[in-house]
Amino acid sequence: MKNLQIRNSLILLLTALIWGVAFVAQSVGMDYVGPFTFNAVRSLIGGIVLLPCIALLKKINPSEKKPEDPARAKRNLILGGVCCGIALCAASSLQQIGIAYTTVGKAGFITAFYIVIVPIIGIFFGKKCGISVWIGVLLALAGLYFLCINEELTIGRGDVLVFFGALLFAVHIMVIDHFSPLVDGVTMSCIQFFVSGIICAVPMFLFEKPQLGQLLAAWQPILYAGVLSCGVAYTLQIIGQKGMNPTVASLILSLESVISVLAGMVILHQNLSSREVLGCVLMFAAILLAQLPQKPGKADTPENG
């Protein structure tokens, strides 16, 4: 049992590593293609990659019983996939546009703000928040101040866009929380990627009109974000969380924000000021507090990338 916990912890750490480095891929991809092009191709690749993963997971973990109402289960699966796809499209588009105007480290920590927001949104659905969550919200707001607002009391356009993207990622998590008990999570994720990719393709053709040469030039960051961040990392998250304490799993996955800073420094040579580092520290403390065990109830698990 102990070996299994260690293995799953390492799998989740690998997931966080993939998601953290994905911010670098998103930033580099913007040098070649527009944000809607990047997200459209990335999402469609992610959906395609998940197709064999679905078949593999069904072989490893065959369903014990069929749903009592197959028609209703199918409706829930399609509705859940479409709703998740719309939310993911909106959130990832704001994040992708924002990354062009800020550093990947800041983008990683601002995006992680959704982990604090999810419990707050849960209040409107009858879920209670403990004192640690409210302290986490205050710390997160302080962290955002130091991260985003400079000494001249101005805020960057990219930081604002990524922040609103984080709010929409919180909505995305709540939609997943509603539908995931009703359907197969990996299959719903596959549908959401195809829906997100198709929706992003509309503004891609209307406003960006990408050329084949641009896509070929951006093949490395697009493939990383599509294959590894969407397909592989999501599947690893599903496998790694099996039998793990949800709080421990959440804490490991939240390391993606730290990894995004390190990846930005090592790969893109983007450094943070002392003020921004303080903001990161406060944000990470808020993330940890938001994931401390609450009274018995549903635990929300972070998902991104």
pLDDT in tens, the chain (305 residues): 677 778 888 888 899 899 999 999 999 999 999 999 999 999 999 999 999 888 887 777 766 566 677 888 899 999 999 999 999 999 999 999 999 999 998 999 888 888 788 888 878 777 777 788 788 888 888 888 888 877 666 788 999 999 999 999 989 888 888 888 888 888 988 999 999 999 999 999 999 988 999 999 999 999 999 999 988 887 788 778 776 766 677 778 878 888 998 899 999 999 888 888 898 898 888 888 877 766 554 444 445 55
> What confidence score (pLDDT) does residue 298 get?
45
> What confidence score (pLDDT) does residue 163 get?
93
The encoded tokens of residue 217 equal 């030039």
DSSP string, the chain: -HHHHHHHHHHHHHHHHHHHHHHHHHHHHTTTS-HHHHHHHHHHHHHHHHHHHHHHHHHHS--SS--S-HHHHHHHHHHHHHHHHHHHHHHHHHHHHHHTTS-HHHHHHHHTTHHHHHHHHHGGGT----HHHHHHHHHHHHHHHHHHB-TTS-B-HHHHHHHHHHHHHHHHHHHHHHHTTTS-HHHHHHHHHHHHHHHHHHHIIIII---HHHHHHTHHHHHIIIIIIIIIHHHHHHHHHTTS-HHHHHHHHTTHHHHHHHHHHHHS-----HHHHHHHHHHHHHHHHHTS--SSS--------
> What confidence score (pLDDT) does residue 154 get?
72
> What confidence score (pLDDT) does residue 124 get?
79
Hey, which residues does 149 pair with through a beta bridge?
155
Q: Cα(165)–Cα(89) distance, rounded to whole angstroms? A: 10
pTM for the full model?
Answer: 0.84
